[in-house]
Structure 1
Amino acid sequence: GARLLYSLPNFQNPTGRTLPLERRFALVEACARLGLPLIEDDPYGALSYRNDPLPKMLNMNPAGVIYMGSFSKVLTPGIRLGYVVAPTPLILKMEQAKQAADLHTAQLTQMVVYEAIKDGFLQTHIPTIRKLYADQCQAMLDALQTYFPAGTSWTRPEGGMFIWVTLPAHIDSGALLKEAVEQHVAFVPGAPFYANEPQQNTLRLSFVTVPPEKIRAGIERLGKLIAAKL
C-alpha cells in the first residue's frame, strides 16, 4: 500500500550513516520493479570528508527518482532554499501545489543565492567547509574515545554534520540533557527521531558550529555525567 519510498542516503540525519552502493542499486531496482517513486533527499551529499559522494540514485533511474537538494547545508543555514530534480510532469504538479501553499519561494532569497553561486563560489567554498567539518568531526570522535565511559558507542561518519551515540540501556538521554544544559552542554535526545518504539538511551551530537577546543571540553563534561550514572 505504499505510495512512495523516502531515503536520505548520504550522512543521514540523525545517525550520520551512509547507504552503501549495493543498497542503492537494490532500492532503485526494487522501486522501478514496483512502480514506486523513490525520493532521494540529499542535503548533506556535498559534505563528504574522505572521497567524492557515492553515485546518486537519480543517475541510476532518472525517470523513477525524485532528487532533493538544499543550499542550507552548504551555503548558509538561514537561507532555507532547496531544489528538486524530477520528471517534468511531476515538476508541473509540484509547482501547482507550491502555488496553492504559498505562491512561491521568496524572490529575494533566490536572487541572493544566485548572486552567491553564479561565478563558481561553491566550487571553492565546499572544499573549505569539508576540511573544517572533517577536522571538527575528528576532534569530537577523539574526545568521545578519550572521555566517554565503557558501555557507550557511536557512529563514525564520513561526512555530514552528526554523530549518533548509544548509551547504556538504563540511561534516559532526555533526563541527561537537563543535567548537561546546567553544564553548558547541549545535544538532541534520540527518542523523537523514532517513528515507533523510541530508544531513550540514544542522542545526536553535532560538531559543525563549535571549534575543537570547545568540542573537547563539552564531551569531557558530558562523559563525566554519563559515567556518574553507571
Structure 2
Amino acid sequence: MPVKFADRMSTVHRSFIREILKVTEDASIISFAGGLPNPELFPVADLEAAAVKVMRESGPQSMQYSTTEGFQPLRQYIADRYMEKKGIKVDADEILITSGSQQCLDLLGKVFLNAGDNVVIERPGYLGAIQSFSVFESNFLTVGLEEDGPDLAELERVLDENEAKMFYAVTNFQNPSGLTYSAAKRQGVADILKGRDVLFVEDDPYGELRFMGDFEKPVVRGYLEENGILLGSFSKVAAPGFRLGWMVCGGEMRDKLIIAKQASDLHTSTFAQRVMHQYVTDNPLDNHIEKIRERYGNQRAAMVQAIEEYFPAEAKVTRPEGGMFLWVTLPEGMSSMDLFDEAIKNKVAFVPGRPFYVDGSGENTFRLNFSNSDEEHIVEGIKRLGAGIKDFLSKA
C-alpha cells in the first residue's frame, strides 16, 4: 500500500534554487545561481579560536540542553547592536534565537497561518518564504516593487480589498531583486499598516552588507507601535553553516513563537550560540563586515561593468548598493528558462525568475549572484551570458 502524505504537501515543491545548484556542481560551470556568501570570507581561524575557548571554559554547559529563547549573552549582544546601529531600543527578552532565519518563517507559519489565510509578499518575492508559507496552505497576494520599494498604492488597494494576515518583506537589498526600500517608502508602509490587523514581518539578512550610498535606513518596525516582527541572521555576516538567526518580537506573539519552537527543536544549538558569542566578543564584528563590504563591492562593480560591456541595451538590470544580487529583466516574450538551458551549455548558470512569482509571471526575468565568484570569473561568465542573450534576441 502506498504511503499517504498530508494534503498540504501536494502544493509544496522542491526548492528550485536547490535543484539548480545540483546542475552547477560541475566545477567548470561559472555559477551566479546560488545565494551563497563568499567562503573565502568566513572567519575560520577566529571561529576556531572561539570554539576552543568555549570548550575549555564551558565545555559541559556548551554540550547541554538550554533554554528555548537562546543564550542570554548572545541575545543581549544582538539587542545592544540594534541600538548602536539602528537606534532602536530592543530588550534582550524580545529576541528569540532560531536555527537560521529560515526557521523564523516556519515558526511564523505555525503560529499565525491557517489554511487559506492571505499573505502579502513582494513581486518578485523571496523563494524561501514562498516555500515555507506554502506548507501552511497560504494564499499569496502580491505587491509590485518599484526602484525604491513597494508600490504603495497597490499595497493599500490589496489590503483594502482583502483580509490579509501578514505582509512579509525584505526591506534591504531584497532577494531576488537587490532593491532597497527608501526612507519614504518605509514610512509609507508603516502608515498604511497602522490601524490594520496585519502582521508586518521585516526580514533583514542583508542590511549590513551595504557598500555604497546612504548607510542609515530606518527599521519599519520602529514606526509601528505593534504588529511588527523583525528577523535577522548571522549567516551573511559570519558563517551560514552555524544556522543562527533570530526574531525580534514581544508580548503574546513571543510566547506563542517560543511554544512553536519548543515543539520544533527545543532550542537552537547551544554550542553554536556560545561559539558565536565568544567570536563577537573577541573580534569586533564591524571589522569583519568591512572586509565583506569591500570584497562584495568590488565583485558587484565587476559584474555591473561587465554587464554594461557585454549585455545588450534591451536587458534592464538593477543597480543595488549592497547585498548579493542583481536582477535582470529581458524584453517581453523572452524566456529566461530557455536562456538557462543554453547558458548551461556554455558553462554559466543563473536563476530564472519565474519561481519568484507566485502568479506565474516573471518569465523574462532572472537573478544573478555576485558574492560567490571572483572578479575574473564574473567577467567571463557575464561575457558568455551576454552572448547568449544577444543570440536569443537575434532569433526573436
Which TM-score band applies after superposition, normalised by the shorter structure?
over 0.9
* Residue correspondence of structure 1 range 144-155 to structure 2 within 5 A: 144-155=307-318
Using the TM superposition, give the Cα deviation of residue 195 of structure 1 relative to its aligned residue in structure 2, in angstroms. Answer: 1.0
Indicate the residue corresponding to 2:379 in structure 1: 216
Query: Are the counterparts in 2 of residues 38 and 64 from structure 1 also a CA contact under 8 Å?
Result: yes
Percentage of identical aligned residues: 42
Using the TM superposition, give the Cα deviation of residue 3 of structure 1 relative to its aligned residue in structure 2, in angstroms. Answer: 1.2
Indicate the residue corresponding to 1:84 in structure 2: 247
* Residue correspondence of structure 1 range 77-226 to structure 2 within 5 A: 77-226=240-389
Using the TM superposition, give the Cα deviation of residue 137 of structure 1 relative to its aligned residue in structure 2, in angstroms. Answer: 0.5
Summarize the Cα distance change of 1:53–1:74 in structure 2 as closer, same or farther, 3 Å threshold.
farther
> 2: CA distance between counterparts of 1:29 and 1:168?
35
Query: Are the counterparts in 2 of residues 177 and 186 from structure 1 also a CA contact under 8 Å?
Result: yes
Question: Could you report, residue by residue, the CA deviation over 1:31-90 in whole angstroms, capped at 9, with x for unpaired residues?
Answer: 222132211110011111123141111222353321100111111222221111111332
The partner residue of 1:13 within 165, 175, 181 is 175
Q: How many residues align?
A: 230
> 2: CA distance between counterparts of 1:118 and 1:58?
27
Query: Are the counterparts in 2 of residues 63 and 86 from structure 1 also a CA contact under 8 Å?
Result: no
Query: Are the counterparts in 2 of residues 45 and 53 from structure 1 also a CA contact under 8 Å?
Result: no
Question: Could you report, residue by residue, the CA deviation over 1:116-148 in whole angstroms, capped at 9, with x for unpaired residues?
Answer: 212343121111101111111111000000000
Question: Could you report, residue by residue, the CA deviation over 1:3-24 in whole angstroms, capped at 9, with x for unpaired residues?
Answer: 1211111000000001111111
Query: Are the counterparts in 2 of residues 62 and 87 from structure 1 also a CA contact under 8 Å?
Result: no
Query: Are the counterparts in 2 of residues 151 and 168 from structure 1 also a CA contact under 8 Å?
Result: yes
SS at match of 2:379: helix
Using the TM superposition, give the Cα deviation of residue 154 of structure 1 relative to its aligned residue in structure 2, in angstroms. Answer: 0.5
- Structure 2: which amino acid aligns with 1:22? A
> 2: CA distance between counterparts of 1:126 and 1:58?
24
Task: Mark the runs of 5 or more structure 1 residues left unpaired by the alignment.
Answer: none
* Residue correspondence of structure 1 range 29-68 to structure 2 within 5 A: 29-50=191-212, 51-61=214-224, 63-68=226-231
> 2: CA distance between counterparts of 1:68 and 1:42?
6
SS at match of 1:228: helix
- Structure 2: which amino acid aligns with 1:229? F
Summarize the Cα distance change of 1:174–1:41 in structure 2 as closer, same or farther, 3 Å threshold.
same
Query: Are the counterparts in 1 of residues 339 and 392 from structure 2 also a CA contact under 8 Å?
Result: no
Indicate the residue corresponding to 1:73 in structure 2: 236
Q: Which has the higher contact order (CA 8 A, sep 6+)?
A: 2
> 1: CA distance between counterparts of 2:228 and 2:384?
44
- Structure 1: which amino acid aligns with 2:350? F
Using the TM superposition, give the Cα deviation of residue 199 of structure 1 relative to its aligned residue in structure 2, in angstroms. Answer: 1.7
> 2: CA distance between counterparts of 1:227 and 1:97?
51
> 2: CA distance between counterparts of 1:34 and 1:121?
40
> 2: CA distance between counterparts of 1:154 and 1:9?
19
Query: Are the counterparts in 2 of residues 11 and 17 from structure 1 also a CA contact under 8 Å?
Result: yes
- Structure 1: which amino acid aligns with 2:385? L
Summarize the Cα distance change of 1:174–1:159 in structure 2 as closer, same or farther, 3 Å threshold.
same
